[in-house]
């Protein structure tokens, strides 16, 4: 099978990230994230976001999201999120596990974006003792369906939540793709996001993600929380080094921009030369195609790994490593169907 478009997780490490690990492997460094490499990588993230924040590097996006949500909601409370968000569909109850019972309330909305009216309705629900009331909002940028929230769209979602005194989390697993699509990273803290997961793995790192706490009160005993969760790396420099390489070289942005361009090329080819239609706007690095199950099976049989998503469409994801030739070959396979 060819996994070129199966997920951006199927790509290897970007050269800048891998080179940084090799470069920072020499000599000795303080353990558990107290090293200079970790400090430099954290400073570069602060610069990208134009905000002060406490930052920790962890092994996985699931843990990053779940630990972040556990900071914002008590076990008897819940988090509002799009019903297709990763925390709702792909994390096996991890937010509830790390949050000792924190619940999730799924909200509707086209193409992965939360419908403001649905959010208002959830916020207006009377609190009763028989269900978990919301205490936080989780947003995904870019969304699970490859769309990108505008600053204005985020403001309309965040403001009513903050007026309630609730917290806001942003899952930025594909934040680089949103930035490459024109989203201003400097707005994240200003919009009122309390804690951000700054994506590394899908941008070309190994398995590293960064938890960015704009609300520094959330960082109280964060090292104890991460240690208990098994997310404290003894050789912490090897979680931070890929970020250092990607951000020093600008490969975090340029790799995402390339992935977005490949997605646009694929989408244009689907629209122009295939009998299938796009299921969602193509704004970042993912392309969703409506095709019959038989056609999807034939595509798999031809050796192309691609997966049917929650809404029934078939997802194709581009990465920093996607080659134009691969896009052309996939489009030829489409035409042969």
Question: Do 139 and 170 meet the contact criterion of CB atoms below 8 Å apart?
Answer: yes
Query: Nearest CA to 142 among 174, 113, 115, 169?
Result: 174
Report d(CA 323, CA 38) in Å as an integer: 32
Report d(CA 107, CA 121) in Å as an integer: 10
Report d(CA 207, CA 157) in Å as an integer: 30
Beta strand pairing call for 103-107 and 134-140:
unpaired
Residues of the chain with pLDDT under 50: none
- Domains of the chain in sequence order: 13-248 (3.40.640.10), 251-336 (3.90.1150.10)
pLDDT of residue 274: 85
Query: Nearest CA to 111 among 276, 331, 326, 278?
Result: 278
pLDDT of residue 273: 81
At 111, list the tokens: 């193409």
Query: Nearest CA to 263 among 146, 179, 176, 183?
Result: 146
For residue range 262-305, list pLDDT tens digits in order: 999 999 999 998 889 999 999 999 999 999 999 999 999 999 99
H helices of the chain, where?
Answer: 15-23, 36-49, 61-72, 86-89, 94-98, 116-124, 151-163, 175-180, 187-191, 222-228, 237-248, 251-273, 293-301, 324-336
Question: Do 265 and 303 meet the contact criterion of CB atoms below 8 Å apart?
Answer: no
Question: Do 151 and 190 meet the contact criterion of CB atoms below 8 Å apart?
Answer: no
Question: Do 230 and 58 meet the contact criterion of CB atoms below 8 Å apart?
Answer: no
Report d(CA 333, CA 337) in Å as an integer: 7
Question: Do 255 and 226 meet the contact criterion of CB atoms below 8 Å apart?
Answer: no
Residue reference for tokens 């930025």: 172
For 35, 280, 328, the CA distances from 333, given in Å and listed in that order, are 49, 21, 9
CA pseudo-torsion sign 102, 108, 112, 116 = negative
Question: Do 78 and 138 meet the contact criterion of CB atoms below 8 Å apart?
Answer: no
Residue 122: CB atoms within 10 Å: 18
- Burial code of 284-304, b = ≥16 C-beta within 10 A, e = fewer? bbbbbbebeeebbeebeeeeb
Residue 6: CB atoms within 10 Å: 18
């Amino acid at each position: 099978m060819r996994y070129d478009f199966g997920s951006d997780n199927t790509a290897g490490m970007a050269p800048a990230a891998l080179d940084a690990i090799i470069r920072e492997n020499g000599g000795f460094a303080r353990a558990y994230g107290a090293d200079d490499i970790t400090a430099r990588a954290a400073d570069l993230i602060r610069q990208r976001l134009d905000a002060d924040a406490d930052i920790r590097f962890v092994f996985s996006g699931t843990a990053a999201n779940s630990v972040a949500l556990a900071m914002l909601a008590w076990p008897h409370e819940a988090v509002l999120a799009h019903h297709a968000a990763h925390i709702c569909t792909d994390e096996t109850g991890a937010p509830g596990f790390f949050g000792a019972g924190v619940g999730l309330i799924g909200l509707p909305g086209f193409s992965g974006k939360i419908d403001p009216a649905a959010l208002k309705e959830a916020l207006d629900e009377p609190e009763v003792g028989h269900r978990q009331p919301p205490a936080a909002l989780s947003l995904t940028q870019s969304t699970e369906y490859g769309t990108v929230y505008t600053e204005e769209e985020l403001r309309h979602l965040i403001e009513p939540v903050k007026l309630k005194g609730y917290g806001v989390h942003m899952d930025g697993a594909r934040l680089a793709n949103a930035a490459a699509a024109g989203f201003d990273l400097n707005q994240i803290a200003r919009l009122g996001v309390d804690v951000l997961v700054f994506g590394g793995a899908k941008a070309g790192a190994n398995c590293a993600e960064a938890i960015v706490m704009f609300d520094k009160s959330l960082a109280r005993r964060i090292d104890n929380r991460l240690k208990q969760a098994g997310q404290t790396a003894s050789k912490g420099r090897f979680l931070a080094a890929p970020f250092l390489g990607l951000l020093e070289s600008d490969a975090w942005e340029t790799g995402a921009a390339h992935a977005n361009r490949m997605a646009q090329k694929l989408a244009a080819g689907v629209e122009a030369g295939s009998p299938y239609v796009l299921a969602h706007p193509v704004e970042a690095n993912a392309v969703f195609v409506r095709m019959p199950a038989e056609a999807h099976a034939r595509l798999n049989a031809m050796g192309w790994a691609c997966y049917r998503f929650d809404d029934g469409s078939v997802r194709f994801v581009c990465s920093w490593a996607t080659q134009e030739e691969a896009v052309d070959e996939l489009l030829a396979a489409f035409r042969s169907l």
